Structures are given as structure tokens and as C-alpha cells.
Structure 1
Amino acid sequence: MRRILAIIIFTSTIGWAFAQKNNVQSAANSFKYEEYGEAKKYIDLAAKHPKTANSAKMWYYRGRIYLSIHESGDTKLDADAIAKSVASLMTCLDVDKSKMHEDSSRLYLMNGAIKCFIEGVNKYKAKDYAKSSELYGLVLKALNYDKNKDLPRNNVSEKTIYLNLYYAASGAEDKVKSKEYLGKLIELNYNDPNIYRSMCQLLLEEKDTVGGLSYIEKGRERFYDDRDLIIEQVNLSIKMGKSDELLKRMSDDIEYDAGNSTLYLVRGILYEKKGDLEAAKKDYLEALELNPGYFIAAYNLGAMCYDAGAEILTAARDIVDNAKYAKEKEKAMALFKEGIPHLEAALEIDPTDDAAAQRLVRMYARTGDTDKYNALKAKREGK
């Protein structure tokens, strides 16, 4: 009796194990005939069972089945198919000791990772930041399996992934993750000055002005002539009461590097912020002499003249005496006329700059230059 019972148990066990392996084969057969619903049913059963949960063949087919489900666009069958595909193919490569599925798995994994990245972008656009971040995270892991650098060749590089992870974290207002990803981009020497400004802004929101300024200064080391970083450095230095310190540093640096237009520009901005417009004008002109195509120097000089003229006109509104008013207006007009050539030069350097165009339109209007006013206004309106 015991012998009969043992035979029954043994036979049942063999049949039970065979059934699990049969699920993998059934999934493969259904997949072959593009019966993705059936293929999904069988492969999910096999994935849950301990007898086949560590099978390279099972993970290989699971990856391919879910990749095809994603490509079919049938979100009702599985809206998370691409994530499951990428995770499955990576697992296949991890457990495939015989290397039987290695080449094919890697090929489909790279294909799936690219689609996973695109899906991450779509989720980000739909403001599903958590899912977007999850998908980007999978693509980041897939980079470890990319022996032939297929992902970077398809514009899915480590830097691009971290940039998109930052966007997702920023969208979710996750400041901790945002700083983590910005830090990684800085570590990877990502070629965009805005990452330093973004890191600075996050630190300023935490009232860490010192930390914020340190990142702006790091950014200046890489992007020496970046307009926004220069202005941010000056503004933060003033906010921290360090404008005189920065001014002295610029003056000392000029002694050793008198041909550096950026040093004159920064010092000019500092003088302008302190209200010493003549000293600022002198430095802006020096910067332009050294670098005639220096947009920010030309723009700042023209804008400074415009602002000074506008301030004189505003103050003159309270003057009752006509002669005195006329004298103040004449001063303002002289400043406008002085600033116009510099803003024209700035707009010639960068025809797309809206701020320069706006100020020029106003200055033409103030000085009564109707022809130039109409021409620039029509150009801005696309006429």
C-alpha cells in the first residue's frame, strides 16, 4: 500500500512539474500565433510558480510577449507591458547561465529599453511623474546590459536618462530626488549651465544662500561667459553682502588678465548695481573693445542707458517749471540715443533676443524715430 501511495505521489509530482514547463511552451506557442492574451495567461502562471520562476526560457518569452503587447498598443491587455518586458529580459540575462538566450535577449532588451524611455517621456507629458520616473529607472538599469552602446546611439545616454529623471522629480516637486539627479548631471559634466542654476534655486528655497552661490561659481568655472550665471553670481553676492569682495576679486583678476572681456563685464555689472554708471559704462565698453561680438556687454550697456533715461523722465513728471522739465527731458533723450547703437549691436549679434528688441522699440518711440520703430515692430510681428 505504501509503495502504491509513493508511486502515486511521485507520478503526481512529475505531472505537476511538467504542467509548469508546459505553461512556458503553451505561452511560446500562443506567442508564435500572436495570441497575446493567451500567451500572457500562460507566461504569468509560469512566472509565479517556483518550478519555472528561475527559468531563463520563461523570462525570455515573458520579455518578448510583453514587448509585443506594448507594441500592439493594447493597453487593456496590460498597460504596464513595456516595464514588465524590460525587467523580464534583464532577469533572463541574469539567470541564463548557459547563455542560450543571451544574444537574442540583449537585442530585444535594447529595443524594449528605447521604447521604455519613450513611454517615460509620454508619462511625463501626461504628468504621471511617478510612473515616468519608474520607467526611466528601468532604462538606467538596462544600460548595464548594453555591451554595444546601442542606447547612446539612439539618443538614450546616461546623461539623457538622468536629465529626464530630474524633470520627473521636479514635476513631482521631489526636491531631494531633484538635487540627487542634478548632482549626478554635474558629476557627469552635462553640457548645460542651467543645471547649476537649478541646483542653486533648490538650495535658495532651503535658505542655503552660501550653497546656492557655490554652485553658481562651479557653473562659472565650466561656463565662464554664460549670461544668466554671471547675473546670478552678481545678484547673490550683493544679497550676501559680498559685492565689494567680488568687485575686488574682479579688479585683482583684471590686473593679471587685462585681455579678459568677461572680467570687465562682471565688474561693469557690479558697478551698475552699485549705481556707479560711469564706471559701469567704462567696463562695458572695454569688454566690447576686447570682444565686439559680446552680446551681454552690448545689451547691458544699451539697457543701462535706457533705464537711466526712463528714470529721469519718471522723476521729471513732478517738475512744474517748463524750462527745467525740458532740460531733464533732453538728458533722457541723450541717454536713449546713446543706448540705441548698443542695443542694435546686441540684436545684430542675437536677432532672437526679445528683451533687446522690446527695449529698442521703446527707445525708437521715445526718440521719434518712426521709420526704425515701424520696421522693427513689423519684423517682431512677422509682417
Structure 2
Amino acid sequence: MTFALVVFGCNGADYYNLGIYQARQGNQEKAIEYFTKAIEVNPKDADAYYNRAYAQHLLGGKEKQTISDYSKSLELNPNDNEAHMNRGLIYMKMGNNEKAISDYKESIRINPNYSIVYGNLGNAYKLKLDNEKACENWKKSLELGNENVRPRIKMNCE
């Protein structure tokens, strides 16, 4: 069975929805194309920037573009704790732990009950060889329900 989709006169929301569909299908390259078209139609679409960044994040290898898209998303929607956390992950991957820590702290300021970001903040402190702050954040992450940090606590904090 062959399926063809012909799109005439799409608006930004149409392209955005096609991008979401492609991303959910695991086709990140095609999703990026649609999010890019959505941004061309509506350059103030914070969600399109966020989702293009996330698709690039999943593919890897385009860290500067991913940072740029997360940053644009945050310029348009500064209280997006997920965008702060995800940009922090990219900064950490690039070895910029100070910027990662700053983003993680901002994510926590926006949503202080987000267990995963405390785990990531602990990881960034561990990379800076600050075991005390790493353990403090991993323990907070565990307290909020993130069981994934338990091995790190056991290995580094007890």
C-alpha cells in the first residue's frame, strides 16, 4: 500500500503538526524539515523551535544549532523548564558545565518538583568534581521519585 501526502497552502500549524507526526514516527530528519517550514511561516512559534531542537538533540551532531533553537524557544517562552533542562544537557555534552548548571537551576526555579533535572544537576556538579553538591542534588532527585539516581548515590555519596 502506497500512501502519498500532498500539501497545498499549509499554514504554520499544519507544518508544525506534520513535524510532530514525523517525530512520533521516529523520522527526525523529516520532522526537522517540517518544523523549519513552520518557523518560516511563523518565526515566533516557540514550540516549533523547541521541537526542532529536540529532534536535532535526538539525532546528535548539531549541538550549536540545537543550542540556538533551544535559546530561540526560550527567548519566546522563557518559562519553559523542559527547554532549559534540555539546553543544559547539550551544554553538558559540549563540556560547558557552568552553562549547564545555570540552565538546570533555572529549570528548577520554574518547576522545583522536577526530579530529573536535579539528577542532571548532580551529574554536572560531579563533572566539576564537586561531590558534595552532586550528592545533594541526586538525593533531592531520589526524594522526588527518580530511582535512576540511586546507583550514583550508592557509589558516590555513602
Question: TM-score, normalized by length of structure 1?
Answer: 0.28
Cα distance change of structure 1 residues 296 and 214 upon mapping to structure 2, 3 Å threshold? farther
Task: Give how far 1:337 is off.
Answer: 0.7
- In the alignment, which residue of structure 2 is the partner of 1:210? 29
- Contact 1:234–1:269, Cα closer than 8 Å, also in 2: no
Q: Which amino acid aligns with 1:270?
A: I
Q: 2:144 aligns with which of 340, 346, 349?
A: 349
Q: Distance in 1 between matches of 2:122 and 2:56?
A: 21
- In the alignment, which residue of structure 2 is the partner of 1:87? none
- Deviation string, structure 1 residues 318-355 (Cα, Å, up to 9, x no partner): xxxxxxxxxxxxxx3xx11111111111111115x2x2
1:362 matched to 2:155: yes
1:293 matched to 2:113: yes
Cα distance change of structure 1 residues 255 and 348 upon mapping to structure 2, 3 Å threshold? same
- How do 1:99-178 and structure 2 match up within 5 A? none
Q: Distance in 2 between matches of 1:341 and 1:289?
A: 16
Task: Give how far 1:298 is off.
Answer: 0.8
Task: Tell me the secondary structure at the aligned position of residue 259 of structure 1.
Answer: coil
- Deviation string, structure 1 residues 77-130 (Cα, Å, up to 9, x no partner): xxxxxxxxxxxxxxxxxxxxxxxxxxxxxxxxxxxxxxxxxxxxxxxxxxxxxx
Q: Distance in 2 between matches of 1:293 and 1:233?
A: 27
- In the alignment, which residue of structure 1 is the partner of 2:98? 278
- Contact 2:138–2:149, Cα closer than 8 Å, also in 1: yes
Question: TM-score, normalized by length of structure 2?
Answer: 0.64
Q: 1:337 aligns with which of 132, 136, 139?
A: 132
Task: Give how far 1:271 is off.
Answer: 0.9
Runs of 4+ aligned structure 1 residues displaced above 4 Å come to 212-215
Task: Give how far 1:280 is off.
Answer: 0.6
Q: Distance in 1 between matches of 2:136 and 2:97?
A: 18
- In the alignment, which residue of structure 1 is the partner of 2:38? none
Q: Distance in 2 between matches of 1:214 and 1:254?
A: 21
Q: Distance in 2 between matches of 1:359 and 1:211?
A: 37
- Deviation string, structure 1 residues 252-276 (Cα, Å, up to 9, x no partner): 2222222221121121111111111
- In the alignment, which residue of structure 2 is the partner of 1:317? none
- How do 1:232-251 and structure 2 match up within 5 A? 233-236=56-59, 238-239=60-61, 241=62, 243-251=63-71
Task: Tell me the secondary structure at the aligned position of residue 344 of structure 1.
Answer: helix
Aligned length: 120
- Deviation string, structure 1 residues 32-89 (Cα, Å, up to 9, x no partner): xxxxxxxxxxxxxxxxxxxxxxxxxxxxxxxxxxxxxxxxxxxxxxxxxxxxxxxxxx
Q: Distance in 2 between matches of 1:259 and 1:338?
A: 25
- Contact 1:271–1:277, Cα closer than 8 Å, also in 2: yes
- Deviation string, structure 1 residues 347-367 (Cα, Å, up to 9, x no partner): 11115x2x2000111111xxx
Gaps of 5+ in 1: 1-175, 177-194, 204-208, 216-220, 225-229, 310-331, 365-372, 374-383
Task: Give how far 1:213 is off.
Answer: 6.0
Question: Greater relative contact order (Cα 8 A, min sep 6): structure 1 or 2?
Answer: 2
Q: Distance in 1 between matches of 2:110 and 2:124?
A: 20
- Contact 2:56–2:66, Cα closer than 8 Å, also in 1: no
Larger Rg: 1
